[in-house]
Structures are given as C-alpha cells and as structure tokens.
Amino acid sequence: AAVMNVGSYAENENVKLYVNDNIVDSKIITLNGREAEKVNFTYAFTTTGTYTVTVDTLEAKEVLCMNPPVWIDSDNDGVMDEGESRFLSIQAAIDNASSGDEIKVKPGTYDTRIEVFPIVVNA
C-alpha cells in the first residue's frame, strides 16, 4: 500500500492490515511533509477459506486460500474428507488438534519450526 503525508510537517503514520475486519498487523512509519512510501505486509493464512483483506481505507479485496497440505484425519482413513479440518501449516494443525487426533501431511518440503507441548510419542 502506498502511504502519503499530504501535510507540510513530518508525521508518524500507523498503517493497519485487516483480515475479515480484524487488525492482524500494523506498521508505524515516519513521513516528511509531502513524502510517500510503499508499505508491505506479509500474512500467513492458517485455514482454507475466503477472506476479506484491506489496508486502512483502501478498497477491500477477497482472497481465496485453498489446497491446504495439512489436515486432521478424524476418521483415520488417510483421505482428506469433506468436513475435516484443513490447515495451511503443520503448526496450525497441531494447535487445533485434540488428544487422539491424527494429523496428516501431504508430501513436500516444509520449512518450519514445530512446537508440541506436552510431547507424547506412542511407539
């Protein structure tokens, strides 16, 4: 998003990123009078779905996130069935899993750090 200070003096601008009308990130930038700056945001969606995304007063855009590589296999059949919880990251699946749930991960390379507490391993 491009932000411009239309005044004559330096000002701090608080630029906010909204997803579904909730502030998910913000950046404070300092702009001199009549100065403009491009502001970039990165946001990781954790579940499949359609989201409304906007930055401050800019026109909102619909974003569709699909093809999640991770899901909680509630019936343990190894197939991503309709109604099973789907996620775009391994950590999101772990955070939403209940005791006894099986998390399935599609083949691929995942560059991530995973936290599981408490750690229970059934061998």
Q: Answer yes or no: is pLDDT of 57 > 90.
A: no
Distance (Å, whole) CA 22 – CA 25 = 9
Q: Which helix (H) or strand (E) holds 69?
A: none
Least Cα distance to 3 among 77, 55, 45, 53 occurs for 55
Instruction: Name the pLDDT band for 121 (thresholds 50, 70, 90).
Output: very low
Q: Over the stretch 76-106, which tens digit does the pLDDT of each residue have?
A: 787 778 888 888 788 888 888 888 888 888 8
Q: Which residues contact 47 (CB under 8 A, 6 or more apart)?
A: 65, 68, 85, 86, 87, 88, 92
Distance (Å, whole) CA 60 – CA 19 = 9
Least Cα distance to 1 among 71, 56, 78 occurs for 56
